[in-house]
Amino acid sequence: MRQRFLSFIIGLLAVGLIGAPALAQPNYAKVKEYRIERSVPPAAQACIECHRVTTPGVFTDWARSRHANANITCLDCHLIQPGDQDIAQDHEKYYGRSDLPWGEAKYKMPIASIVTPKDCSRCHPDEATQYSKSKHANTIEIMWKLDPWLNKGMNSDNERKTGCYNCHGTVIAMDDKGRIDPDTWPNAGVGRLNLDGSKGACTSCHTRHRFSVGEARKPEACDQCHLGPDHPQIEIYEESKHGTIYHAYQDEYNFDAAGGTWTPGVDYRAPTCAACHMSGSGKEPTSHDVTQRLSWETQAPLTVRPQDFKPFPSGTDWQDERQKMKNICSACHSNAWTNDFYNGFDKAVNEYNDIYFKPAKAKLDELYEKGLLDKTRFFDERLEVEYYELWHHEGRRARMGAMMMAPDYAWWHGFYECKLRFANYMEEANHLIETGRKAYVAEDFPNATGDTTRPVKIFGDK
């Protein structure tokens, strides 16, 4: 038998069916490619093949996503739905081009430029509903109710677009040519009001076109908006022991665990932002409503319970929400540790309220009442700026630093600077009251040209 096999091989070599080099061929990697072999509608296949060429970054992101793995194509998200106004008119020019094999007219489909939470809700109904109740989704309303920059027109409309609205969101509008108004787009703000009436952008956290749950679980997903002098949550997290452990061991974290299964002690060692504020743990379910689990509203000028926060009452009981957060903490901490933490946090809040904010607010009201400060505009008098930064900058840092266990932010960037701001503020305020002199008004305050009209689609015609 062996003799006959060898004779067979020799014969093949003789006739050239197997070249000698082929017997010792090294392993050559095949070209990696995404092949559409499942049941995908021809129009959807055309989208994929066209974008593979025209926008390879978009295609590659999608091809590596769970959406692609689940056979969810461009059309599942972008196909026009009843009532959609944002039809991508320029997209139609790609059909009928001779240089695009998949651009034939027979594949033409009307698509929407903006994918909204309403679109996502077809597959993710619970997440979309939870998100709609959150401070994230309603942050345009909150911003207008809190912010003197907007209400007094103290910055320009473009300063708002490039700054404030990139995080808070715009009210999407169409121009007179039937295209999305460039003053309102592009925008992925968490509170964006979409043309279909839905609020927010899922891509704020699950960026397109990967839409990764793992990405949204990392603190870097939050740091575009939660940073800086007024709400430095990412800097605070970086300083905290949670952040230190995350950076030391993040390569061991399993960020891609299936939704609802991400487990402390199994998939991660110390929590990220999402782990505390959104992810499930033990008996506590996952939620896309970041308003939950909060027992103080630390962004407010005067710290209040979330249900008493006038710009956006939570509709929940703070004690219930605190227990939810304690349930999260209990995966890693004892009850005594957690209770002692909240004891210190509550004291920090009460000290800020009673020692710093309330006296400063009372003094501001006195200055207005005596006519020593002018109410016409805000920020054009130095004491208005001092008062604003006392609560909006140092006061927030002190409270949030205590809340997230970052000692440098609780003290040096927080209460220490609160003391300096407060002392200077009270000294000048009392001097004006004693002398009866009015504060200097900066008549040439720069670029104070913003529209003070509250968005009608948010507030109605009030």
Confidence (pLDDT) at 21? 45
Average pLDDT over residues 220-239: 96
DSSP letter string, 353-367: IIIIIHHHHHHHHHH
Distances (CA, A) of 132 to 107, 190, 191, 259: 35, 10, 9, 19
- Residue given tokens 């003789």 in the structure block: 14
- Through-space distance between the first and last CA atoms of the chain, rounded to whole angstroms: 97
pLDDT tens-digit profile of 389-428?
Answer: 999 999 999 999 999 999 999 999 999 999 999 999 999 9
Confidence (pLDDT) at 345? 98
Distances (CA, A) of 64 to 48, 60, 155: 13, 6, 42
Residue of 329, 323, 322 whose CA lies nearest to 295: 322
Query: In terms of C-beta distances under 8 Å and separation of at least 24 residues, what long-range contacts does 200-207 make, across chains too?
Result: 200/116, 200/117, 200/131, 200/132, 200/136, 200/137, 200/169, 201/116, 201/117, 201/169, 202/115, 202/117, 202/120, 202/124, 202/127, 202/128, 202/131, 203/115, 204/136
Distances (CA, A) of 454 to 173, 276, 279, 284: 15, 34, 34, 38
- Residue 238, both tokens: 């970086």
pLDDT band, residue 294 (cuts 50/70/90): very high
Distances (CA, A) of 110 to 122, 180, 185, 236: 19, 15, 20, 46
- Helix axis angle for 416-435 and 382-389, nearest 10°, is 150
- Residue 139, both tokens: 């942050």
Indicate the average pLDDT of the chain. Answer: 91
pLDDT band, residue 36 (cuts 50/70/90): low
Is residue 31 predicted with pLDDT exceeding 80? no
Confidence (pLDDT) at 427? 98
For residues 306 and 314, the answer to whether their CB atoms sit within 8 Å is yes
Q: Where are the alpha helices (DSSP H) in 265-406?
A: 273-277, 318-329, 335-351, 358-369, 382-389, 396-403
- Residue 71, both tokens: 């056979």
Residue of 286, 308, 281 whose CA lies nearest to 297: 308
Q: Which amino acid is present at 438?
A: K
Q: Where are the alpha helices (DSSP H) in 79-164?
A: 117-120, 125-132, 139-146, 148-151, 157-159
pLDDT tens-digit profile of 324-342?
Answer: 999 999 999 999 999 999 9
Average pLDDT over residues 443-452: 96
Confidence (pLDDT) at 316? 96
Residue 385: partners with Cβ closer than 8 Å, 6 or more residues away? 379
Q: Where are the alpha helices (DSSP H) in 17-124?
A: 42-54, 56-63, 66-69, 74-78, 117-120
Taking the complete model, does pTM exceed 0.75, yes or no? yes
Confidence (pLDDT) at 100? 78
DSSP state of 300: S
Taking the CA atoms of 142, 114, 52 and 89 in sequence, report the sign of the dihedral they define. negative
Average pLDDT over residues 48-73: 93
Cα-based torsion angle of the residue sequence 401, 406, 407, 410 in order, rounded to the nearest 10 degrees = -10
